Amino acid sequence: MQDSDWTRILRWPGYRVYRSEVNEKAKTLRLWVRRKRGNQVLRCSSCGERVGGIAEVYEREVRDLPWSEYRATVVVELYRVRCPDCGLKAEKVEQLPSNAPFSKRFEEAVGQACESAPARRVAKQWKLAESTVRAIDLRYLERWAAQRRKPALRDMGVDEIYVGRQGKFLTVVSNLETCEPLWFGRERKQETLDEFFSTQLSAFQRRAIQAACVDMWPAYRQSLERWVPQARMVYDKFHILQHASAAVDEVRRAEFFRQGGAARDVVRGKRWLLLSSWVRLDREKKQQLKQLFGLNRRVMKAYFLKESLSHLWDYTYEGAMLNYLESWIGQLRWQRLKAFEKLANLLLRHVDGILNYCRTKVPMGRVEAINGNIKALLRRGRGYSNLRYLLLKAQRLAATKTEFLVFQKAA
């Protein structure tokens, strides 16, 4: 094959192959490339400005996309340039975005593979170390993030995610319109959210925030009141039902702890059943629940209180919503369900923020979707101790899967 043929197949814009070497035994291909005659504009890799003088010529080796079963290495002839602002620097080359020994398109391919498979599997497939795959993926995502438009934040979600004993909690701030996470903070204190407002947004950007979907958690509320006083706080369905589920669980524990013996065996492993909503259960599961309810009426009562609370969001008029909430609280009388009385008090104290659901057009269910995506990522792979990586990964997932999630919600 002639060098011009190699050039045509390699397709590195502005570069031509001037030497090639095929090793059939080792299944490797090496191509030496240099700039084409017409491609003489040099830029500084540090500032990106055009520069004139070449100070030095050198070579760099990078791994490129494989050719059939041949592993390909490209040896690039490069110039060191004298930049008036930065001094002696390497020239900027489109296919060499970092100092790592890989071409840009090789990194893109590995990054794309990481979108649908865990790093461990990608590493095996490409014969790379797992840590190398993660580093490539991170650069791939950083490049993607750098070139994309960032929409204004108007409806924000604030949520906490439990990440296990060591990391404890993450605070997740998200854009509910675009369905993507914007920022992660360690812990879930007022200072955590304060840090988001002070480091990530300008005063102008903060004033643009209209609504915030949050849990009834005082730390977040205090931070929101301080930084975005104009924003309406909305206590959303997802968070409130989390509290209701916790109340059901509390009743379950108290009741069956008292009963002991045979009853405890029926109950064992049924916790998640009690936390699932009735409509999502199949016939067999419903039967199991009924059996459980036969043993204890109070647990049944607790379960259906949680279920009926979820219908609060069927109402879109404040008056109707308030009526429903009042009659729901009315049902608690004489039940002696402490956990639910506590919940009722919590709801009454936050009733304004609950009713804000009717007064704002905040897209609901998105906090839950974003939260679910992040949890899925955390479950799928290790190595997210790097929060920046986790964030970019979740953003990319949101950007590429948004339609899928919206579709799921509608179904």
Shortest spacing between CB 47 and Zn ion, in angstroms? 3
Shortest spacing between CB 51 and Zn ion, in angstroms? 7
Which residues are CB-neighbours of 147 under 8 A, at least 6 positions away?
A: none
- Terminal alpha carbon distance of the chain: 56
Q: Which is nearer to Zn ion, 46 or 190 (CB)?
A: 46
Q: Which is nearer to Zn ion, 46 or 200 (CB)?
A: 46
Shortest spacing between CB 133 and Zn ion, in angstroms? 31
Q: Which is nearer to Zn ion, 81 or 344 (CB)?
A: 81
Shortest spacing between CB 209 and Zn ion, in angstroms? 38
Q: Which is nearer to Zn ion, 89 or 104 (CB)?
A: 89
Cβ distance 212 to 231 under 8 Å?
yes
Question: How far is residue 351's CA from residue 120's CA, in Å, rounded to a whole number?
Answer: 48
Question: How far is residue 302's CA from residue 248's CA, in Å, rounded to a whole number?
Answer: 5
Complete DSSP assignment for 46-102: TT--EE--EEEEEEEEEEEEEETTEEEEEEEEEEEEEETTTEEEEBP-TT--SSSSB
Which tokens sit at 353? 């923020």
Complete DSSP assignment for 339-398: HHHHHHHHHHHTHHHHHHHHHS-PPTTHHHHHHHHHHHHHHH-S-TTSHHHHHHHHHHHH
Under the rule (CB under 5 A), what is the footprint of Zn ion? 44, 46-47, 83, 85-86
Q: Which is nearer to Zn ion, 83 or 369 (CB)?
A: 83
Shortest spacing between CB 82 and Zn ion, in angstroms? 9
Shortest spacing between CB 99 and Zn ion, in angstroms? 16
Q: Which is nearer to Zn ion, 83 or 362 (CB)?
A: 83
Cβ distance 170 to 185 under 8 Å?
yes
Q: Which is nearer to Zn ion, 46 or 308 (CB)?
A: 46
Shortest spacing between CB 89 and Zn ion, in angstroms? 6
Question: How far is residue 194's CA from residue 184's CA, in Å, rounded to a whole number?
Answer: 12
